[in-house]
Amino acid sequence: MAGASENEAEVNANRELVDRLRRSKLFRDYERVFGEATGLPLALRPVEYWHLAHRGKRHENPFCAFLAENPKSLAVCLQAHEDMVRRTGDVPTTVTCPFGLTETAVPVKLGARTIGYLRVGQILRQTPSRGDTAKLAGTMNRIGVPFTGKIRQAWEDNPVLPPERYKGIVRLLTFFAAQLSSLSNQLLVEQQNQEPLLVMRARQYIDAHKTEEITLRDVAAAAGASIFHFSKIFHKSTGLTFTNYLARVRAEEARNRLLNPNRRINEVAFDCGFQSLTQFNRTFKRVFGQSPSEFRAGLHSGQITSSRRSGK
């Protein structure tokens, strides 16, 4: 049990560190320039991330977006994503999904430990032949998804990058991953020097139990402090009250789950620990600047807002 608890704590710490890297100016600037230069989506995800890496991203491949909207093809995509995560180790790994698209994961490290991956791809490495298209049509028919209309047009419009050019992009990301690895060490040192241990313990406990019914008393006990002392230190360190911090964490979890088109908004709200749909809508709007339904609509139009509010 102790070993499992330590492993869970490490996973949570890695997720938090990757999230800080993702919010850093270095990554945000690189992501913007990378997208403008290549037209490709770039994602930074922790090792334990089981959603589609590029879902809702600005440069998400329209063909992949169509696949993600259909439950049958989404299931295949999620399985391919899981297989890729399990296969990727300490070096960049490139795979081709069952629908013929190439994607690569480039590891980001903290010392010798891999904490996350840069994800890029959703491209074809050669112009598809008639045989390639016929093979894809057969795959689509077998899973019960008609290969007609907009989805066929999206397939024909897929971006094509010659192998050498794509390899060059992956090499550039390998250099960038090294920069992120250096930044991760810096952030960890800053966190250890600036964030009290009880706040770190509280964050880890909240992340592990965010969908459950937890109270301020529960978290203070897990952090090893009295309620009064914990509340004072936590607010000073995070800038948020416990209630607002928990609501924000739950909203971020809900946002990830809303990427699955098969989940109803009210189901996601209650599964993530919100007591009412009204509370969920209000919190989501405060944190992300748009309602859950607006976020869902944006997934289909490709207009995902990137603005985030303080949540205070």
Q: What is the pLDDT of residue 1?
A: 42
Range(s) of the chain covered by CATH 1.10.10.60: 197-301
What is the token pair recorded at 20? 């800080």
pLDDT at 309 over 60: no
Q: What is the mean pLDDT of residues 119-139?
A: 92
User: SS3 for 118?
Assistant: strand
Other C-beta atoms closer than 10 Å to the C-beta of 15 total 19
The closest of 98, 103, 95, 102 to 137, measured between CA atoms, is: 98
Mean pLDDT to the nearest integer, 117-137: 92
The pTM of this model reads 0.62
Q: Residue 299 has what pLDDT?
A: 62
Q: Give the separation between CA 286 and CA 271, rounded to whole angstroms.
A: 19
Query: What pLDDT score does 217 carry?
Result: 94
Q: Phi then psi for 121, rounded to 5 degrees?
A: 140, -130
CA atoms within 13 A on the CB side of 289: 8
Q: Can you read off the two tokens belonging to residue 44?
A: 């930074």
- The percent of residues in the chain predicted with pLDDT above 70, rounded, is 90
Is the pLDDT score of 298 beyond 90? no
Per-residue pLDDT, 303: 40
- CATH fold of 2-191 reads Beta-Lactamase (3.30.450)
Q: Within the chain, which residue ranges are assigned CATH 3.30.450?
A: 2-191
Q: Which class is domain 197-301?
A: mainly alpha
pLDDT of 192: 58
